[in-house]
Amino acid sequence: MSMEREPTGPAAGGQFGQDPRSDGELAQLVASGDQQAAAVLITRYERLVRSFLRKITGRPELADDLAQDTFVRLLKNAHRYDPKYPMRTWLLTIARRLSINHSRRGDQKVMSTEYEGHHAGADGPDARAEASDTQNATRRMLNEALSQLSEPQRTAIVLFHEKEMSIEDVAAAMEMPVGTIKSHLHRARAAMRKLLGPTVEVVQ
């Protein structure tokens, strides 16, 4: 299964993203009311959180609202951040909780409809059109397959394969044991192979 990578962490986010201060230092400043430090952290992780939420909810407007709520909670609870753990893990944990809570309140099925694949290469207009059609068809198949996974399976797939988080970090973000995450990944891959057949490769 292939998917686009996005810059995450201190290198992302332009001017604020280049701030040399660590997440822990910034969180301490945010806890003391430093608005500039808050802007640095939000800029540093906004794209990661927003992209994650768009993929697990499939609803851009909802994802943007949940991302905003995620950062509101960051500002309110910065004093609770433990710098021993990655900031992105903490933020994605908050984002996932908000998504699940929203789904439960509205009795809605939160599902991915924006799963992106790598763009295929092309040598000319015809090749580009063909590659675009193939990419769109592949994306639709991936979307459909992902929509049939359980929420934990879908989230584990997105975090592990797209966000390139370690099994341990995925477990921390999802607040589950490592063994449970491995089981979700195994079942998700098996389900997607069954749904997709030989048309799309599912990464081990």
pLDDT at 103: 85
When the pLDDT of each residue in the chain is averaged and rounded to a whole number, the result is 79
CATH for 125-198 is: 1.10.10.10
Q: Domain limits of the chain?
A: 8-110, 125-198
- What is the C-alpha to C-alpha distance for residues 108 and 115, in angstroms, rounded to an integer? 19
State the CB neighbour count (10 A cutoff) for residue 149. 20
Judged against a pLDDT cut of 80, whether residue 75 lies above it is answered with yes
Q: Compute φ and ψ for 196, nearest 5 degrees.
A: -95, -20
Which parts of the chain fold into alpha helices (H)?
Answer: 14-17, 23-31, 35-57, 60-77, 87-106, 125-147, 151-157, 167-174, 178-196
Q: Which of 5-9, 22-26, 66-70 has the lowest mean pLDDT?
A: 5-9
Q: Over the stretch 145-171, which tens digit does the pLDDT of each residue have?
A: 777 889 999 999 989 988 889 999 999
Residues 51/12, Cβ–Cβ less than 8 Å: no
**Would the pTM count as exceeding 0.85?**
no
Q: Do domains 8-110 and 125-198 have the same CATH topology?
A: no
pLDDT at 198: 54
Q: Over the stretch 124-135, which tens digit does the pLDDT of each residue have?
A: 444 444 444 445
pLDDT at 147: 74
**% of the chain beyond a pLDDT of 70:** 70
To the question of domain 8-110 being in CATH 1.10.3470.10, the answer is: no
Amino acid of residue 193: R
What value does the CA radius of gyration of the chain take, rounded to a whole number of Å? 18
Residues 162/55, Cβ–Cβ less than 8 Å: yes
- What is the C-alpha to C-alpha distance for residues 116 and 52, in angstroms, rounded to an integer? 12
pLDDT at 131: 44
Q: Which of 65-69, 107-111, 159-163 has the lowest mean pLDDT?
A: 107-111
Judged against a pLDDT cut of 80, whether residue 110 lies above it is answered with no
